[in-house]
Homo-oligomer: A and B are copies of this chain.
Amino acid sequence: MSYQPPVREHLFLLKDVLEIEKLANLPGFADAPIDVVEQILEESAKFCAEVLAPLNRVGDKHGCVWNPDGSVTTPPGFKEAFRQFADAGWPSLSARPEYGGQGLPAVVALACEEMSSSANMAFSMYAGLTHGAYTAILAGGSDEQKNLYLPKLATAEWGGTMNLTEPQCGTDLGMIRTKAVPNGDGTYKISGEKIWISSGEHDLTPNIVHLVLARIEGAPAGTRGISLFVVPKFIPDADGKPGQRNSVKCTGLEEKMGIHANATCFISHEEATGWLIGEENRGLNLMFVMMNEERLGVGMQGLAQGEAAYQAAAQFARERLQGRSLTGPKNPDGPADPIIVHPDVRRMLMDSRAVLEGARAFMFWTALFGDLAHRDPDAAVRQKAEDYMALLTPVLKAFLTERGFGVTSAAMQVHGGSGFTEHFPASQYLRDARIAMIYEGTNGVQALDLVGRKLPANGGRGVMTFLGELDGFVAANGADAALTPFVEGLAAAKAQLQDATQWLMQNGFANPDNAGAASLDYLRLFGLTGLAYMWALMAKAANARIAAGDADPFYANKLAVGRYFLERVLPDAGACLAKLKAGAAAVMALPAEAF
């Protein structure tokens, strides 16, 4: 049995925890009553399990092949699967109806994205980046650009990419050298070398739309002189069809530890024709619209690879016979017990579940604010939703990828020696998942974004609202005896997060190195606190179902995993707090030459 999409978990979150049925007054949600959502998820699950998952190992083995003419051949089966994927409408779930999309809530699309990412991360990146390009053009393109590109990108008829990195600059985009020279007709000649361009060239779509950061001749130095351009591989003709070949070329593929089936390209622009998107020198702002969406998607990849790896490990643990239970044989007629009887194997599986189920709730709960930010008529709701999206994006990106990678490593450990071989899927999940901690801004960059930008934004309004919401939950549910350990766990975590936040305010401004040295442990503490809140929300929802007479063991199991989270995962919060409050002195004590 290979990967099985966790639709039951998705429906629990959407129905019982987030109660999206109560949002039927909002645009998009009206079109998604829960039975329709359920149908969508079941169809998506079927497609991901039957079409995408079987191609995952094929993709890892074959990888993409660069051809001397600059074309790239994706692994066998990818092209056909991508056509099916696009024809079925999966890329366009949440895109706007006026551009060929289906207008559904982002939180529903997200559930489908989790499945496709679990089933085949490298495959799903082609569509993920395409949707990111859609978002950036939607945010900053002219009407003409929107009408030309958005319908193609919304449906993944064409592919999309993000051309940022150059050999001398990754995180530090102010160092970009790619240049743009006006042609005098509104177009520009784009010249420069880009590296690490995911999905940068492939055979899945008849055209690829590159969004390229470049510096217009004479622009100010640094990040204030960077503009965003659209550089289509084939310049659309008058009918909007792929026309003349543009001088943008893939000059090779990067060899990397994982995601072999996603083409990571060296892209050379040789006086390629580009069109400015938005204003001159304001390219980074637009690119960050795309980047922020991708960051949430990358957090989802951490969760998704963890989920797929956990499933493989659980299956192995139920089937592999080795040793006997410490409390007496559980499979007395067999030569040994399945290894799932061993407490340390259980510990790894329960660790994984406690993290994954909490992480999924955190991701869905946050994504719903993304919908509210766009769709809610109440300006106060929209503001809170925007604050939360800004605040939580770096937390989700870094915390879920770090913990998700940990889950893939635990899954390998459950497999024992088999896990290290390439005959079982554990190695690929681990190798694929590892990139998510790095790209779209390393986790350290996310942590710095959190403490340096997101916390102080609007006088700390976002974090204050969040901490207040946790207090509100604790106050409202403190008397609920069935919820006591969850409320107590949340209250303790919230107190630690508040303590850390105050420490940062008092010490981070005086010495920025204190903020930098604290940043990742602060982010981890934030993530753990977020998960404690999610587990409290899930426990409350599960209790409600049980109280209503629902005998599905799903709910009792949910509470059991939640208890595990409180007892066995949340204690890390105290260590994060102790570490970050130690300050920067020991971190920065050595001279650089001592390393």
Nearest CB on B from A221, distance (A): 10
Q: Mark A445-478, 1 if CB is under 8 A from B, else 0.
A: 0011000000000000000000000000000000
Question: Do B422 and A438 touch across chains, with their CB atoms under 8 A apart?
Answer: no
- Cβ of A481 < 8 Å from any Cβ of B? no
Instruction: Assess A335 versus B175: contact at CB under 8 Å? Given A417-B165, A571-B574.
Output: yes
Instruction: Assess A340 versus B412: contact at CB under 8 Å? Given A254-B421, A421-B256, A568-B587.
Output: no
Instruction: Assess A594 versus B170: contact at CB under 8 Å? Given A563-B586, A568-B587, A575-B572.
Output: no
Of the stretches A77-85, A119-127, A317-325, the one at the interface is: A317-325
Q: Mark A584-595, 1 if CB is under 8 A from B, else 0.
A: 101111101111
Question: Do A257 and B517 touch across chains, with their CB atoms under 8 A apart?
Answer: no
Q: Which residues A390-436 have CB closer than 8 A to chain B?
A: 405, 409, 412-413, 416-417, 419-423, 427, 430-431, 434-435
Instruction: Assess A336 versus B587: contact at CB under 8 Å? Given A256-B421, A257-B422, A571-B579.
Output: no
- Cβ of A561 < 8 Å from any Cβ of B? yes
Question: Do B438 and A420 touch across chains, with their CB atoms under 8 A apart?
Answer: yes
Q: Mark A238-277, 1 if CB is under 8 A from B, else 0.
A: 0000000000000000111110000000000000000000
- Cβ of A377 < 8 Å from any Cβ of B? no
- Cβ of A44 < 8 Å from any Cβ of B? no
Question: Do A417 and B437 touch across chains, with their CB atoms under 8 A apart?
Answer: no
- Cβ of A443 < 8 Å from any Cβ of B? yes
Nearest CB on B from A404, distance (A): 13
Q: Measured between alpha carbons, how far is A513 from B325 in the docked complex, in Å?
A: 9
Question: Do B343 and A584 touch across chains, with their CB atoms under 8 A apart?
Answer: yes
Query: How many copies are assembled?
Result: 2
Max chain B CB contacts within 10 Å: which of A317, A557, A586?
Answer: A586
Q: Measured between alpha carbons, how far is A553 from B420 in the docked complex, in Å?
A: 42
Question: Do B417 and A438 touch across chains, with their CB atoms under 8 A apart?
Answer: yes
Max chain B CB contacts within 10 Å: which of A442, A448, A520?
Answer: A442
The residue from B170, B350, B444 contacting A587, defined by CB atoms under 8 A apart: B350
- What residues of chain B lie closer than 8 Å to A336, measured between beta carbons? 172, 175
- Cβ of A183 < 8 Å from any Cβ of B? no
Question: Do B172 and A340 touch across chains, with their CB atoms under 8 A apart?
Answer: no
Question: Do B346 and A421 touch across chains, with their CB atoms under 8 A apart?
Answer: no
Q: Which residues A165-198 have CB closer than 8 A to chain B?
A: 165, 168-172, 175, 196
Closest residue on chain B to residue A175 by CB atoms: B335
Q: Measured between alpha carbons, how far is A495 from B532 in the docked complex, in Å?
A: 29
The residue from B318, B437, B515 contacting A595, defined by CB atoms under 8 A apart: B318
The residue from B434, B571, B582, B588 contacting A346, defined by CB atoms under 8 A apart: B588
- What residues of chain B lie closer than 8 Å to A348, measured between beta carbons? 444
Interface of A: prevailing SS: helix
Question: Do B520 and A420 touch across chains, with their CB atoms under 8 A apart?
Answer: no
- What residues of chain B lie closer than 8 Å to A575, measured between beta carbons? 571-572, 574-575
Question: Do B172 and A322 touch across chains, with their CB atoms under 8 A apart?
Answer: yes
Instruction: Assess A587 versus B512: contact at CB under 8 Å? Given A439-B417, A575-B574.
Output: no
Question: Do A595 and B314 touch across chains, with their CB atoms under 8 A apart?
Answer: yes
Closest residue on chain B to residue A348 by CB atoms: B444
Q: Measured between alpha carbons, how far is A511 from B435 in the docked complex, in Å?
A: 41
Question: Do B586 and A564 touch across chains, with their CB atoms under 8 A apart?
Answer: yes
- What residues of chain B lie closer than 8 Å to A513, measured between beta carbons? 326-327, 343
- Cβ of A550 < 8 Å from any Cβ of B? no
- Cβ of A24 < 8 Å from any Cβ of B? no
The residue from B340, B421, B427, B431 contacting A592, defined by CB atoms under 8 A apart: B340
- What residues of chain B lie closer than 8 Å to A567, measured between beta carbons? 579, 582, 586
Q: Shortest 10 CB-CB distances between A and B: which pairs?
A: A343-B516, A326-B512, A567-B582, A344-B444, A571-B578, A560-B589, A314-B595, A343-B517, A564-B586, A257-B427
30 chain-A/chain-B pairs, Cβ below 8 angstroms:
A170-B322, A170-B416, A170-B417, A171-B322, A171-B416, A175-B335, A175-B336, A196-B417, A255-B423, A256-B422, A257-B421, A257-B431, A327-B511, A327-B512, A342-B444, A343-B517, A343-B584, A344-B516, A345-B444, A346-B517, A347-B517, A419-B438, A420-B434, A420-B439, A563-B589, A564-B586, A564-B589, A568-B579, A574-B574, A575-B575
New A-B contacts (10) at CB < 8 Å, excluding given A171-B322, A568-B586 = A168-B335, A255-B423, A318-B592, A342-B444, A343-B515, A347-B520, A412-B434, A417-B438, A420-B438, A564-B586
